[in-house]
Amino acid sequence: MTENHSSRKKETRWLFFGSLSALAAGFGYIFWQIFSYGRRLLKQPALLATPFPQLPPGQTALESPCYRIAAANLRAGIETRRLPGGQEKVVLCAGSRNFREPWARDFGFASFGLVELKEFQTVQETLEVFLLNQKSSGQFPVKVHSTNFIDRYLHSLFKRQQPISTPIKPKYITAHNTISPDGNALLIIALLNYAQRSGDADFARQHWEALKRAVFWFEEHEKEADGLIHQPPYADWADSVARSGRVLYTNVLYWKAMRDLAAAAQRYGMAEDQPYLQSKAEKLKASINAHFWRADLGYYITSQYFDNLSSSGNLLAVSWGLTTPAQAHSILDKMNEFDMAKPVPTQVVHRAYPDKFIAIENRLGGIANYHTSAAWLWLGAWHVIALTRMERLPPERVAIVFGARIYGDGRLSAMLQDRVETAVQLYQQGKVQKLLLSGDNRFVDYNEPGNMRAYALSRGVAIEDIQLDYAGRRTYDTCYRAKAIFQLDSAVLVTQAFHLPRAIFTCRHLGVESIGVIADRRPYDPRSVRWSTIREIPAATVSLLDVLIKKPAPVLGEPIPIE
């Protein structure tokens, strides 16, 4: 009995130490994996800011900053990625920080910009990646990726570039375990736009059957005779909102894809498919108007469950010509009435969705407004396109040009000449109708406004379209007098980049709603730039005091309204 007891004690001891050893080994293995992962992560290159490209020839001062930012943003996402078979493709990723992978939806919209930049190889090869991974049912992947959510989060948290050595593989289901019908439609639209704009008709013909399979996949999600797509919750671009059933945005994309396919069928020798596709596009247009248009509200409602104005579906409908002119103007009027462009860029909806329809992870994370009141650049871009298509972008009446140094012989300094030249170009392009040239004229032999006018006249500006402000001694004075003397409510401010933020701040706080145009038309003397930049620090402080506290009145006089 004593031997049995001793034996059991030994077994228990061995079991204890064995379990302890196994546990220690398990923890050691986990620790080693975490340590190894952390070491690999920290060895990744740091995230770097994207440099702007050089100013393209022929770009005006108004267009160039926006062009440069957009082009730099797009091109920063272009990179070569490896496929599982070892083949490499040049693709567009959705971002460099969080989403370093091609997404169907993001690429679909971005492809319009890539085509304008003539980045045809990137568009073609990104399309090829999605086409290679299309299912036999016609469904395209939501994205093709090589990292998981935790990878992306940790690399972003530690400001490291995501690794791209692993081949990219398709994913067909979203994080909410749903399909993504808008991505399918956008790939059709992107392919046909690329083929037409690049002249690559063979590419469209080669993949015509794949496009038709995508149509068949859509038809599986038509639940009723109206032909509209029904989607599950969290399935479109606003994937933190449980928008289900028939949703405006998704069905506008579906209609656009069918309309473009119908036109392409005739263009690329697929005439036998044209009648069916044309009939389908016409039916979808009629169904969208029957189901979503609310004449009493003046816009398309979001879905059968939400009657708010969502900018995505409405703006795409206007931009792509689904609406009548009356409908388009009504939508844009309502968006203006609801202040949906304030703050810029355009808001997602004019009235937020009820909280119960917002994904729980967004509510817990404090970003329940992600797809309601957050600002989205792409919506602002489509708003501009819609306004332009309907000719709703009247030019600002007046450009205010701020004075700067002139030489003893009357010549304008480089910075001042560039300011006036930029304003002249705005005038010649019809973007402004009048020039308010403001500067210092306290001394008989020093006349900034007069010499600015002489330059503008030499460049072809009509004398009746020029107004001089001889008492614009400071930025504050110019803005104050623009409102009090020249009675302006809005204006375009023309000056250098270092000065523009202070000018916009001052004019807006003094009642002149302003947008700015950068007048940096050449490299300036480095010493002059350094001095001007350093000078802005005390100047900005004085502006804050003047605008918010002191509010001094400059030299005034009789009102001279600019007609």
- Domain definitions of the chain by residue range: 33-46+60-220, 397-550
Angle value at C-alpha 77, between 75 and 80, nearest 5 degrees: 100
> What is 501-516 written as a DSSP string?
HHHHHHHHHTT-EEEE
Distance, C-alpha 462 to centroid of its chain: 38
Across the range 48-59, mean pLDDT stands at 58
Superfamily holding 397-550: HUPs (3.40.50.620)
CA-based nearest residue to 81, from 111, 113, 125: 125
Element (H, E) at 63: none
At residue 378, does pLDDT exceed 90? yes
Q: Please tell me the predicted confidence (pLDDT) of residue 11.
A: 65
pLDDT at 3 over 60: no
**Average pLDDT value for residue range 279-296:** 98
User: Distance between the two ends of the chain, CA-based, in angstroms?
Assistant: 115
Query: Three-state DSSP class for 378?
Result: helix
Digit-coded pLDDT (tens) for 15-36: 777 777 788 888 888 887 777 7
Question: For the residues of 17-37, what is the DSSP string, one character each?
Answer: HHHHHHHHHHHHHHHHHHHHH
Contacts 24+ apart (CB under 8 A), 210-214: 210/131, 210/134, 210/138, 211/261, 212/138, 212/273, 213/134, 213/136, 213/137, 213/138, 214/134, 214/138, 214/139, 214/140, 214/184, 214/187, 214/188, 214/257
Q: Are 66 and 58 in contact (CB under 8 A)?
A: no
Is the pLDDT reported for residue 61 higher than 80?
no
Q: Taking each helix axis from N to C terminus, what angle separates 248-267 and 181-198, rounded to the nearest 10 degrees? A: 30
CA distances from 323 to 334, 337, 340, 470 (A): 15, 19, 19, 50
- Mean pLDDT over 357-369 rounds to 91
What are the DSSP calls for 94-121, one per residue? S-SSS--S-BHHHHHHHHHHHHHTT-HH
**pTM of the shown model:** 0.76
Query: What is the pLDDT at residue 30?
Result: 81
Q: Which helix (H) or strand (E) holds 259?
A: helix 248-267
Supply the pLDDT for residue 58: 46
Residue 486 or 41, more confident:
486
**Residue 9 has what pLDDT?**
62
Residue 155 has pLDDT above 90, yes or no: no
The residue-averaged pLDDT of 432-452 equals: 92
Residue in the structure block whose two tokens are 């493709």: 89
